[in-house]
Amino acid sequence: MSKELIEVSGLVFKQKKYKDFDVLSKIMTAENGIFTLLIKGGLKPKSRLLPATINFSYGNYLINTNYCGLSVLRNYKVVHQLEHIYFDFKGNAYANYLLDLVDHAYADYQPLGKNYYLVFNALMKINEGIDNEIICQMVELKLLSAFGTMPEFRHCVFCDASQGIFDFSLQLGGIVCKNHFGSANTRMCLDAKTMGLIRTLALIDIQQLGQINISDNLKQQSRKFIDILYGQYLDLHLKTKKYLKEVL
Ligand SMILES: [Zn+2]
């Protein structure tokens, strides 16, 4: 297939030096998923493509692509930077982890659908200084489906109950209502508050997330749950996750 020139809207991450002054960056796009961009001469001090090489730049990019392997950056239109994330090491660690996660969930050039907006909005919120940890947990829960695992958080795995007290069963892959606690051979014995927070994060749209005022203890409980879920269902060993744990 011959290369064509297209315009994509996206966000640049995982920048690394390539040959001479050239740079390779990943770009997460609304239209064509995640792929690698070759930015020729990006490291030259006077490069007009310089703004596009900075991690966490986002905007509209003109690229040459044949939808496999490397695509080549030709030009960009309006480009902005997520400055808070760029300079704040914790925000940076969270952003790198979430982008790494979505990068592992999809093949190159595979459209991300609504998960593009999920991750993009999550980064915007982290950049605004909104609770990094809660944003991160929300994205982790919602991205499970992209890895082909979708625990049932909406209603009890035995009945239609969607309100009241719930627990979670790893074996059954979903929530269990109080009336069916006896039917689940194993359950995690999560407290109702933790389960409530996890369900909220899994089910509401990220745009609906307003002011966040959640105690550290509760956040740690939901964090434990998500780590167990990821450990049980997926085989991911991301360096960005290890680094995030180190800096917190
Ligand atoms: Zn039930």
For residues 70 and 95, state if they share a domain. no
- Total tally of structural domains belonging to the chain: 2
- Domain identity same for 71 and 136: no
Q: How far does residue 183's CA lie from ligand 1's centre (Å)? A: 9
Domain that holds residue 18: 4-81
Dist. CA 197 → ligand 1 center (Å): 19
Distance 113 CA to ligand 1 centre (A): 32
pLDDT at 1: 63
Q: State the distance from the centre of ligand 1 to the C-alpha of 192, rounded, in angstroms.
A: 15
Please tell me the distance between residue 97's alpha carbon and the centre of ligand 1 in angstroms: 35
Q: 123 and 10 in one domain? A: no
Distance (Å) from CA 128 to ligand 1 centroid:
39
Q: How many CB atoms lie within 10 A of CB 62?
A: 14
Structure confidence at residue 5 (pLDDT):
96
Please give all residues whose CB falls under 5 A of ion ligand 1, grouped by chain where several chains appear: 156, 158-159, 161, 177, 180
Residue that finishes a domain, picked among 33, 63, 81? 81
Amino acid at 182: G
Structure tokens that stand for 159 in this block: 């009945």
For residue 224, how far is its CA from the centre of ligand 1 (angstroms)? Answer: 24
Is 0.75 topped by the overall pTM?
yes
Region of residue 64 (phi > 0: left; psi between -120 and 50: alpha; otherwise: beta): beta
CATH classification of the domain holding 31: 2.40.50.140
The continuous run of DSSP H or E covering 111 comes out as none
- DSSP characters over 25-93: EEEEETTTEEEEEEETTTTSTT-TTHHHHSTTEEEEEEEEE-SSSEEEEEEEEEEEE-HHHHH-HHHHH
Ligand 1 center from residue 193 Cα (angstroms): 18
Dist. CA 87 → ligand 1 center (Å)? 47
Whether residue 100 is found in the same domain as residue 167: yes
* Of 121, 93, 92, the residue nearest 28 (C-alpha): 121
**Where is the domain boundary, 46, 81, 116?**
81
Mean pLDDT by runs of 10 across the 248 residues of the chain is: 90 93 95 95 88 90 95 93 91 97 97 96 95 97 95 97 96 96 94 96 92 92 96 93 93
Q: How far is the CA of 131 from the centre of ligand 1 (A)?
A: 33
User: What CATH number is associated with residue 205?
Assistant: 1.20.1440.120
Ligand 1 center–CA 216 separation, angstroms: 30
Same domain membership, residue 195 and residue 227 = yes
Examine the domain organization and report whether 98 and 202 are in the same domain. yes
Q: Which of 30, 48, 81 is the last residue of a domain?
A: 81
Coil, helix or strand at residue 167: strand
97 and 188: one domain?
yes
